[in-house]
Structure formats: C-alpha cells, structure tokens
C-alpha cells in the first residue's frame, strides 16, 4: 500500500509509486508519470534518473510530439531484464515451474511429476532441480534471481516459511520447514518464499486490477482443489496460523456422507468439485432422461467443462446442475461477508466457464434475505485470468513486489 508519507520515507514511497505506475502501462513519459503521481516533472525526472542508474527502469526512446508540436518526450518502461523470478506450484501430482522477468513475462515453463510423491525430502529435491533447470534454460546465475515463490496445497505459515499441513500429500507429515530446507539445497539464491498456491493465484488479480490494492478483495478458486485469498489493501492476509483463504473447508452443507481431504464433512470443496458437479448432472439426467438428445450431448462420463459450457449456452438440465453448486457458493459468500465484508469477490477457476448466468443467479441468491440486501455493497465478478496463468503470475508478482519493497531502493548509489 503506497500510503507512507513520513519524510524519511518519501523518496522510497515515490520510487515505488513510479515503479507501480510503470507496471500498469507499457511505456510512460515523465509528464504522464507526474500527472498520475501528483508530483512535479523535475521530481519525476530525478526519480527516473535514479531508477535508471539502478537498472530498474530504461529509456525506450522518443514518443510522438505533443499536439502543440512541442518536442518529442522520452518514453520510460520497467527494465524486465534487471532481475528474474521463479514461480513454482507444487500441486497434488506435478510440480510446475515458470521463469519470469520483472515485468512478469514468462520466459521458460517446465514441470515434473513427483519422483516419489510420498516423500517430502524427494519433493524438496524435485523443486530444487526445477529451479536449477530453469536458471540453466534462461542462462542465468543465482544472483540474477531475486525471488523464488513456491505455492503448496494446504495450510502454509508463510511468514515462518513452514508448511503446516500438506492436505493432498499427508504422508509428508506436518510442520515442514520448507523455506529452511530449500535454502539449504539452493544456497546461492535469495528471496525464497512459500505460501498457499490459491493465495498466490488470488494475488495475481492485482496485475489486472491495480485498483484492487486499495480495497478489500476475496478470491474463490475452484478446480481439482478449492481455495482462495483475502487481499486487504494489496496485502495478502495470512492469519495467526496460515488459515486465511482456506475457503474450501468452510462447512456449507449439513447432510453429507463423503469426507473431505481435510477430514471433515460438508466442506465447500466437496460440494462444488468437478466430481460433485458431474454427480448433480447425472442425478438430473437419471430423473429426466433426454431421449431425443444426440448421444454426443449427454454427459455419461464426468466432463465438468462440458456441463459448464452447456449451462452457459442455456441448457436447462446443465443449468439445474450448476445451480446446485451456486447454492453452495451463496452460502460460502454469506459467510465471507460476515467475516471480511469485502468490496469485491473474484471467482477464479472452472465456474468462470458457466458465463453470466452463474454470476446473475449467485448475486440474486446472496442478496435474497433482507439482511444481505445492501445496495452496491459487494460486487461478485469472474477473474479474467486463465487459472494456470494466475498460478504462475501470482507467485511471480508477489516476489517482484517484495523485491521492489526491499532495501535496495533505499541504498545510495
């Protein structure tokens, strides 16, 4: 959050503000930056000179001359090649790795199945091997990498770098000192940070929507696993134990036999999972057989994407199935409203395929009781990011932001 106005921090604040503005546009002139930052052109010129000397910003040549025919202004952009970041997502079956520059452009992507999925040590070795391979592919040395973000599925105590509970790899044990163990395997690297993967994916929304950095945002992501994050003025909330954002394990139905991976019953994750959606569809098709339907349009096997696309197109049966999931979304969102009262809820993941019908129905349900019927109090929107992109981007953006916040911006040169 760019609000610090203490005199000693003004220079630091202004430098970060210019970096944030440059991220939102491909190129900007000193005049445009001055206008948006509410600073004078000479101040901006001085800051740009410092950032250029540090290699964080570069000149992109001259732009078009002004309408009055004045001289052509110089254009500035972030120097993406100043440093690089690595973003890793350790999912339930594979470990994915992306190398990105400081503008979050992906330069290399690779992934590995776990050598031994039941062994934590083996997972740490696999992650280290991916980091080394990504550096080799980019021809980069350790010191050129300013951050390595690793997203896991489960409860992560990010500030301490401890993976409290690997929900999909429970054989690994508990309270795993991931940051320490990776640092031991990757001694030349700095900026290793771990978090819950859905939290990182939620953080990625800040790249598309810089305005989210000045309000309260909750993201809900649904796929093979379900999670989310709470962003308060651009800060990714963690909680005392790393629980914030584990929305998949909020109880949304009382009558449920099937246990969730967390050990409880009635979790949101089990109620809206791809398997659950397919079972709603199969029950409906059994009750209302569609004999005239061509075989290709029936959902005999579990093809949740097809159900969601059919719902988007207006298929009545698919919509009824998706509406069951929407009921559970509305219960979750009411709980979220009572806990966090966000300005915006961003839906990430598979349900974005269901189209406007999903959002319209969800908004109606959430506001159905007078208690929750507060005009303009909440907007529920779909993410514009593909979920794989969000996973890569979130960890990378988080690392880039921590790098820009670091002390190197204070140091005299």
Q: Which residues bind Zn ion (CB under 5 A)?
A: 249, 260, 262, 264, 267
Residue closer to Zn ion, measured from CB, 192 or 267: 267
Report in angstroms how near the CB of residue 269 gets to Zn ion at its nearest.
5
Answer for the pair 131, 98: CB distance below 8 angstroms, yes or no: no
- Give the whole-angstrom CA distance, residue 404 versus residue 12: 10
Both tokens of 339, joined, read 């806990």
Residue closer to Zn ion, measured from CB, 33 or 271: 271
Task: Look at residues 332, 268, 273 and name the one whose alpha carbon lies nearest to residue 308.
Answer: 273
Report in angstroms how near the CB of residue 407 gets to Zn ion at its nearest.
40
- What is the H or E stretch that residue 226 is in? strand 226-232
Answer for the pair 186, 129: CB distance below 8 angstroms, yes or no: no
Nearest-10 Cα torsion for 111, 155, 164, 274? -60
Residue closer to Zn ion, measured from CB, 260 or 310: 260
Continuous H helices in 273-315: 274-287, 304-313
Distances from the Cα of 321 to the Cα of 266, 315, 398, angstroms: 18, 10, 37
Residue closer to Zn ion, measured from CB, 179 or 249: 249
Report in angstroms how near the CB of residue 282 gets to Zn ion at its nearest.
23
Residue closer to Zn ion, measured from CB, 14 or 225: 225
Residue closer to Zn ion, measured from CB, 74 or 256: 256
Report in angstroms how near the CB of residue 326 gets to Zn ion at its nearest.
20
Report in angstroms how near the CB of residue 93 gets to Zn ion at its nearest.
19
Report in angstroms how near the CB of residue 110 gets to Zn ion at its nearest.
31
Rg (CA), the chain: 24
Q: What share of the chain is helix, strand, coil (3-state, %, to 5)?
A: 45, 20, 30
């Amino acid at each position: 959050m760019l609000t610090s106005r203490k005199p000693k921090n003004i220079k630091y604040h202004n430098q970060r503000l210019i970096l944030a503005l440059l991220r939102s546009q491909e190129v900007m002139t000193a005049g445009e930056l001055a206008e948006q930052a509410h600073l004078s052109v000479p101040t901006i010129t001085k800051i740009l000179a410092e950032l250029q000397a540090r290699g964080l910003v570069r000149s992109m040549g001259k732009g078009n001359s002004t309408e009055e025919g004045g001289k052509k202004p110089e254009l500035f952009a972030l120097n993406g090649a100043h440093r690089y970041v690595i973003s890793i997502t350790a999912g339930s079956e594979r470990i994915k790795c992306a190398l990105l520059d400081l503008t979050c452009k992906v330069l290399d992507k690779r992934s590995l199945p776990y050598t031994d999925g039941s062994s934590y040590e083996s997972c740490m070795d696999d992650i280290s091997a991916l980091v080394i391979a990504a550096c080799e592919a980019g021809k980069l040395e350790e010191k050129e990498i300013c951050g390595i973000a690793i997203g896991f599925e489960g409860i992560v105590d990010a500030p301490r770098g401890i993976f409290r509970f690997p929900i999909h790899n429970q054989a690994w044990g508990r309270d795993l000192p991931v940051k320490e163990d990776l640092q031991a395997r990757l001694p030349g690297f700095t900026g290793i940070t771990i978090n819950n993967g859905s939290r990182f994916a939620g953080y990625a929304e800040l790249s598309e929507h810089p305005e989210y950095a000045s309000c309260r945002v909750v993201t809900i992501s649904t796929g093979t696993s379900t999670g989310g994050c709470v962003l308060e003025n651009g800060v990714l909330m963690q909680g005392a134990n790393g629980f914030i954002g584990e929305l998949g394990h909020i109880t949304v139905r009382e009558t449920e036999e099937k246990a969730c991976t967390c050990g409880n019953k009635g979790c949101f994750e089990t109620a809206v999972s791809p398997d659950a959606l397919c079972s709603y569809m199969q029950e409906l098709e059994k009750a209302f057989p569609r004999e005239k339907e061509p075989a290709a349009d029936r959902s005999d096997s579990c093809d949740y994407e097809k159900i969601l696309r059919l719902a988007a197109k207006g298929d009545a049966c698919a919509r009824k199935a998706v509406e069951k999931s929407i009921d559970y979304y509305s219960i979750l969102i009411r709980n979220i409203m009572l806990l966090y009262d966000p300005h915006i809820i961003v839906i990430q993941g598979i349900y974005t395929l269901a189209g406007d019908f999903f959002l319209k129905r969800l908004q109606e349900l959430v506001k159905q009781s007078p208690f929750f019927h507060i005009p303009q109090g909440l907007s529920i929107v779909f993410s514009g990011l593909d979920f794989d992109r969000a996973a890569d981007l979130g960890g990378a953006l988080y690392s880039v932001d921590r790098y820009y916040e670091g002390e190197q911006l204070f140091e005299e040169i």
